[in-house]
Structure 1
Amino acid sequence: MPSGQQRARARSSAITPGGQASEAEPLPAEKVRALFGGHRLSPAQRRIAQYITDHLTEAAFLSITDLAERVGVSQPSVTRFAISLGFNGYPALREALQPLALSAAAGVPEVRQEGGRNELQAAVDAEIENLESLRRTFADTDRVLDLGRELARSVPLTILGLRISLSLAEYFAYAAKRIHPDVRLVSRGGSVAYDALLQSREAGGTWVLAFAMPRHANETLAAMRAARSTGLRVALITDQTLGPLVDEADMTLTAGTGSRLVFDSYAAPGILSAALLQAMADADPERTQLRLEKYEQAAEQHDFFLQD
């Protein structure tokens, strides 16, 4: 634990003569978040980051064994976490954290809030930023409208979503079936995906829409390459603007994902998916209206939904 002399030095550097934290100097917890920010962390690594943030004055002086035990992860997980942040190991990360812990122990307010926000509010704020970014891209709607027309013409239309990306793919496929005559969801990789993609192409399909959210799966890339080998064109919804997935796609639409919580959140990709469904609906309004009316008749006849 820090000595009294160490606390005094930390206090003198972090507190103004009037006894208040300098406005120009970020709080220790903010510095820790900045240290972790900008890195794509796995769910286990986010748990480590959250524990260190919440228990900074203690965690910065723990051995790798103790930290792993407190968080409930393995020691190699802690080492990989440190390396993912750009350190050569856990000791280097701990050395970087200790001055911040000393500042917090010296009396600089250490709270879980940023500007009055708690962690959940901060996660929502990050998603709002993603939505604002998406809103700016929607200033030019041509790419979404063009892709919507292409997907509407592809019969059958194949939707690809593997691992965690499956949830978005299922949402899109479920809604697309209301307005499109033949939608096929591919939710398994390997030879199963290849068979489904080949059958779609042989049936007359021209496009596959792939979803690729973090952590990006190798089997998604393999399935996209398989789709192209059959003659299908590939559209991609992802959070990336560069990389092998984008290189393999004929058209890419990008939306940021929220990464402040243990698992990513998908507010912007969800809105982007809904916008693309809207573009598909508008591409063939007569077909859309006919199919929606038939669906409503079936829903009423078979009592699909509760009466609100």
Structure 2
Amino acid sequence: MNHTNDLGSRLNEHYGGMSKGQRLLAAYITDHYDRAVFLTAAKLGEEVGVSESTVVRFASMLGYKGYPQFQRALEEMVRGKLDAVHKMEAVYGGSSQSEILDNILRSDALRIKNTLEEIDAHAFESAVDTILQADTIYVAGLRSCAPLAEFLGFYLNMMFEHVKVLHTSSASELFEQMVHIGERDVIIGISFPRYSMRTLKALEFANNRNARVITITDSIHSPMNLYSSCNLLAKSDMSSILDSLVAPLSVINALLVALCMKKQQDVVRTLDTLERIWDDYQVFGNDEIDYMEDGVRMHYANLGETDE
């Protein structure tokens, strides 16, 4: 049996039915498996704040015969990370720099093609409508997905007044930033293997508050889909220690363009306001390259005039 993916799969599969203490253990193991592998059941419970018996029952609930077998699965998870490095060496070790460039770009192009073929167009349309109707838009993407969340949040802020990109190093900070989320709001959760338990907790909390939940993830089997009403799936697998986030970024680009087409006048007004602010406060020096060509500026200006 291949325990490398097995433990992660079991955590994802059983998460919906876990108790509060078991979910704390699942979150700790997902984020700190390289530390958890060296801990006894008692020490692991102490780290997480649960009893030793809860840890033992947790291992049993996941299908292991006892804590020692669960610990061996943790060892395999750590070893799997090292195996990924060896696998990357096997795939790319004999390649030249230009061959690596060619292989990676071709692989990413294929992921975008496969994503295009498999993505649910109705889910995409639903995501656009849900975001347009929301009072506040929350964006959650942690670890390697944090840049995607920042990118999405940056451009959403050009179109909408109330956008919050969640920044956190702990679950408690997440809830502090989401304390006012409600049924008129939406959260967009971005997560790919290894899935972030903190992102999952944010989606669970939002769902419990009756907010709408949109996910950008890799599979219908992703635990992120437990609480979502709208799933946008993008390919991210890669034969290395890195995740390929090119296809997810393309999906985000498409989402932003679709929203921009619905919010053209708001975008124009935001850009005009920013221009005046930059001029008034001399944000940019004379060496700054103008980010909008005259033709584009005229197009936006004309759009603004027709809206008056």
Q: TM-score range by the shorter chain?
A: 0.5 to 0.7
2:84 to 46, 50, 56: 46
Q: Does 1:136 align with 2:174?
A: no
- CA RMSD for the aligned pairs? 2.8
Whether the aligned pair in 2 keeps the contact of 1:193 and 1:223 (CA below 8 Å) is: yes
Whether the aligned pair in 2 keeps the contact of 1:198 and 1:230 (CA below 8 Å) is: no
Q: TM-score, normalised by structure 2?
A: 0.60
Q: Distance in 2 between matches of 1:206 and 1:236?
A: 14
Q: Does 1:157 align with 2:137?
A: yes
State the 1:278 CA deviation. 1.6
Q: Does 1:190 align with 2:171?
A: yes
State the 1:216 CA deviation. 0.7
Residue 10 of structure 2 aligns with which residue? none
**The residue matched to 2:139 in structure 1 has which SS?**
strand
Residue 234 of structure 2 aligns with which residue? 255
Between the two proteins, what is the percent identity of the paired residues? Answer: 17
Q: Larger % of helix: which?
A: 2
What's the CA shift string for 1:172-197, capped at 9, x where partnerless? Answer: 00111111111101122412212222
**The residue matched to 1:236 in structure 2 has which SS?**
strand
* Unaligned ranges ≥5, structure 2: 1-78, 291-308
What's the CA shift string for 1:237-279, capped at 9, x where partnerless? Answer: 0112223221221111011115134311211111111111122
State the 1:141 CA deviation. 4.2
- Residue type at the aligned position of 1:227: A
Tell me: CA distance 1:53–1:287, structure 2 relative to 1, closer, same or farther (3 Å): closer
Tell me: CA distance 1:157–1:53, structure 2 relative to 1, closer, same or farther (3 Å): closer
Q: Distance in 2 between matches of 1:282 and 1:230?
A: 30
Count of aligned positions: 208
Whether the aligned pair in 2 keeps the contact of 1:179 and 1:291 (CA below 8 Å) is: yes
**The residue matched to 2:236 in structure 1 has which SS?**
coil
What's the CA shift string for 1:3-31, capped at 9, x where partnerless? Answer: xxxxxxxxxxxxxxxxxxxxxxxxxxxxx
- Residue type at the aligned position of 2:87: A
Q: Distance in 1 between matches of 2:268 and 2:80?
A: 43
**The residue matched to 1:118 in structure 2 has which SS?**
helix
Residue 288 of structure 1 aligns with which residue? 267
Q: Does 1:170 align with 2:208?
A: no
- Residue type at the aligned position of 2:200: L
State the 1:199 CA deviation. 1.7
* Unaligned ranges ≥5, structure 1: 1-40, 56-110
Residue 105 of structure 2 aligns with which residue? 124
Q: Which is worse superposed, 295-304 or 190-199?
A: 295-304
State the 1:118 CA deviation. 2.7
**The residue matched to 2:178 in structure 1 has which SS?**
helix
1:216 to 187, 195, 200: 195
Q: TM-score, normalised by structure 1?
A: 0.60
2:255 to 276, 286, 298: 276
**The residue matched to 1:199 in structure 2 has which SS?**
coil
**Greater Rg by CA:** 1
**The residue matched to 2:180 in structure 1 has which SS?**
helix
State the 1:126 CA deviation. 1.3
User: Counterparts in 2 of 1:79-118, with a 5 A limit?
Assistant: 112=95, 118=99
